[in-house]
Structure 1
Amino acid sequence: MKKSLITAALVMTMAAGLGAVAGCSSEPAKADVNASIPEGAAPLMPATHDGRFDSLGANGCYGCHGANDQANPMLNGSVALPEDHYADGGSNSKELEPTRTQCITCHVQG
């Protein structure tokens, strides 16, 4: 009887410990870095993008946010580039407007 009580107490302690760990492991809600930017300003890049432009250039941004044969922003959950960022003013061209290739000029790190 004493053995079963010790086992039950041990199981309860382990379950409570797992519950505490699970509760602590969730990430805190991230603040919206774009909540306070002025109207018409380019959205800020999230902290997770730190250094990406430096290592990948505009093609790295375009890979996730542009409309091309290998990527579709609507499928990967990223924000799609606006139509005015494309040559000829539309995503059908699948080519960036040359003046839009310096993404970090407008989209600074948030």
Structure 2
Amino acid sequence: MRKNLVTGALVLAMAMGSLAVAGCASEAPASNSGADTPAGAPPVMPPTHEGRFETLGASGCYGCHGANENANPMLNGSVALPDDHYVDGSAQTLEIDPTHEQCNTCHVQG
């Protein structure tokens, strides 16, 4: 019984992980959603990201825009999180600063 639960949990985790990574596929933005963004303002999420934060949360954003061995922005062509979004202001911590976990507060949907 315990083996079945562990197997089920593993399958679920793998499925959720593949869904998060699928959202990182090389997709071109539908338009230049940041064209009307004032200088110094946080970038606007493109229309292709609609509902992603609500579904995946900050870990979903981090999956494409964060820095770790599984999701390097340089590998998938996404924009990397700035250092000030990480604990201690360094991407080397590989951990989002708790004050930046509500991505859609600053990065509104375009």
Q: TM-score, normalised by structure 1?
A: 0.72
- Supply the AA of the counterpart residue of 2:94: K
- CA displacement at 1:36 relative to structure 2: 1.5
Q: Distance in 1 between matches of 2:86 and 2:108?
A: 20
CA deviation string 1:15-71 (max 9, x = no partner): xxxxxxxxxxxxxx9431101111110000011100000010000000000001211
Q: Distance in 2 between matches of 1:35 and 1:69?
A: 32
Q: Distance in 2 between matches of 1:48 and 1:87?
A: 28
Unmatched 5+ residue regions in structure 2?
1-28
Q: Distance in 1 between matches of 2:88 and 2:105?
A: 21
Could you list the structure 1 runs, at least 4 aligned residues long, displaced by more than 2 angstroms after superposition: none
Question: What are the residue-to-residue correspondences of 1:14-53 with 2, within 5 Å?
Answer: 30-53=30-53
Aligned length, in residue pairs = 82
Unmatched 5+ residue regions in structure 1?
1-28
Structure showing greater radius of gyration is 1
Please tell me whether the aligned partners of residues 50 and 109 of structure 2 are also in contact (alpha carbons under 8 angstroms).
yes
Tell me the SS of whatever aligns to 1:45.
coil
Q: Distance in 2 between matches of 1:47 and 1:31?
A: 8
- CA displacement at 1:82 relative to structure 2: 0.4
- Supply the AA of the counterpart residue of 1:91: A
What residue is the counterpart of 1:71 in the other structure?
Answer: 71
Q: TM-score, normalised by structure 2?
A: 0.72
Tell me the SS of whatever aligns to 1:32.
coil
